[in-house]
């Protein structure tokens, strides 16, 4: 039985999807470049735009990217 | 600590040099541990978890050193490998005893509308109609594998864990779910419900 919250999650998951050109592996290979561009406030190249778009579509890569940024902040502090 | 280009080159040179490799690995291990502790300690990955991940990462980095493109700083690249290994081990640990069931299972396809909050009869009718459309789209346009994978990811199971339970891989499972979402979204649109309609009806 799905309750209202679960139905809403499912509908949001469906309604928010956009076309995605790349795979999880391709995304994870390029996150170092994405992170440095974003942390350095540099404009994203077309490929990095695709990586960001994948992250917006993929909850697993999104969580992993968030974890990666936390780790990068920790090593930048030294 | 902002790493310069020269420092990036130096990491690679030292790790390739048998004389200098030991000290470089020690140093890199400390950097990785700092990042891993911040990233995983709060989530329940303790010190020994981070130590193991750092160790596995150093091995992987030596194997993959030739693939380092230099398009990012060396420590950023190394940290990305550590987080990838850590995340995957952490997810395996978290989901080890969780099995998956399917969105197509009859029990899972029942929608509960009891205790509706302050919603007008028209809005409630909209909701019912969207959900009914979605239910029939799931039934008619998704494969069994898509129903199963979509249910699992909604339950919080990561794609690589779904992959390991269905003899697949992360890329293939992601694509399966992404195709299912696109199909449902297009189906809703063909039935007259745009993404905005759907989101606002359930806001
Ligand atoms: Zn992904």
Who among B39, B178, B196 is closest to A70 (CB)? Answer: B39
Torsion sign, CA atoms B173, B178, B179, B183: positive
Beta-carbon contacts of B172 under 8 Å, excluding residues fewer than 6 positions away, are B163
CB atoms within 10 A of CB B170: 22
Window from A3-12, B43-52, B155-164 with minimum mean pLDDT: A3-12
**Domain assignments of chain A as residue spans, ordered by start:** 21-77
B111, β-bridge pairs:
A2
Find the residue in B nearest to A14 (Cα): B181
Decide if B134 and A11 are in contact by the 8 Å CB cutoff. yes
Band the pLDDT of B5: cuts 50, 70, 90.
confident
Residue to substitute from B35, B117, B149, B198, interface A, most A β-carbons within 10 A: B35
Chain A residues touching B116 at Cβ < 8 A: 4
Chain B residues touching A37 at Cβ < 8 A: none
Query: For residues B73 and A37, what is the distance between their CA atoms, to the nearest angstrom?
Result: 11
pLDDT in tens, A21-72: 999 999 999 999 999 999 999 999 999 999 999 999 999 999 999 999 999 9
Which architecture characterizes domain B5-94 according to CATH? Answer: Orthogonal Bundle (1.10)
CA angle B170, B87, A74 (to 5 degrees): 140
Query: For residues B137 and B161, what is the distance between their CA atoms, to the nearest angstrom?
Result: 26
Query: For residues A39 and B39, what is the distance between their CA atoms, to the nearest angstrom?
Result: 17
**Domain assignments of chain B as residue spans, ordered by start:** 5-94, 100-202
Window from A52-56, B67-71, B106-110, B166-170 with minimum mean pLDDT: B106-110
Cα of A55 vs centre of ligand 1, distance in Å, is 6
Who among A17, A35, A63 is closest to B182 (CB)? Answer: A17
**pLDDT higher than 80, residue B116:** no
The pair of structure tokens assigned to A29 is 């290979």
Who among B87, B170, B199 is closest to A15 (CB)? Answer: B199
Query: For residues B26 and B90, what is the distance between their CA atoms, to the nearest angstrom?
Result: 24
The pair of structure tokens assigned to B99 is 């099995």
What is the nearest CA distance from A36 to chain B, expressed in angstroms? 7
What is the nearest CA distance from B121 to chain A, expressed in angstroms? 16
Alpha-carbon distance values, B76 to A30, B25, B69 (Å): 11, 15, 12
The pair of structure tokens assigned to B85 is 């290994």
ipTM: 0.94
**pLDDT higher than 70, residue B180:** yes
- Residue B125 confidence (pLDDT): 87
Query: For residues B19 and B68, what is the distance between their CA atoms, to the nearest angstrom?
Result: 21
Inter-residue contact B180 to B150 (CB < 8 Å): yes
Q: Which alpha helices (DSSP H) does B17-120 contain, by range?
A: 21-40, 47-64, 74-94
CA angle B200, B192, B154 (to 5 degrees): 55
């Amino acid at each position: 039985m799905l309750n209202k919250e679960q139905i809403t999650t499912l509908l949001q998951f469906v309604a928010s999807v956009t076309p995605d050109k790349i795979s999880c592996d391709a995304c994870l290979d390029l996150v170092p470049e994405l992170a440095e561009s974003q942390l350095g406030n540099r404009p994203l190249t077309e490929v990095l735009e695709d990586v960001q778009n994948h992250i917006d579509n993929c909850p697993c890569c999104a969580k992993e990217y968030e974890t990666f940024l936390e780790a990068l902040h920790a090593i930048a502090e030294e | 600590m902002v790493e310069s280009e020269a420092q990036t080159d130096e990491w690679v040179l030292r790790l390739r040099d048998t004389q200098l490799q030991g000290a470089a690995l020690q140093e890199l291990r400390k950097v990785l541990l700092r990042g891993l502790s911040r990233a995983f300690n709060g989530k329940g990955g303790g010190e020994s978890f981070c130590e193991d991940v750092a160790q596995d990462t150093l091995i992987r980095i030596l194997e993959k050193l030739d693939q380092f493109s230099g398009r990012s700083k060396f420590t950023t690249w190394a940290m990305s490998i550590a987080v990838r290994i850590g995340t995957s081990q952490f997810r395996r640990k978290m989901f080890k005893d969780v099995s998956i069931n399917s969105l197509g299972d009859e029990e899972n396809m029942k929608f509960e509308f009891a205790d509706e909050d302050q919603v007008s009869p028209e809005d409630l009718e909209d909701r019912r109609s969207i959900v009914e459309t979605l239910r029939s789209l799931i039934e008619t346009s998704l494969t069994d594998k898509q129903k199963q994978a979509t249910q699992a990811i909604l339950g919080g199971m990561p794609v690589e864990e779904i992959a390991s339970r269905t003899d697949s891989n992360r890329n293939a499972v992601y694509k399966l779910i992404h195709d299912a979402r696109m199909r449902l979204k297009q189906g809703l649109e063909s039935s007259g419900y745009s993404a905005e309609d759907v989101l606002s009806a359930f806001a």
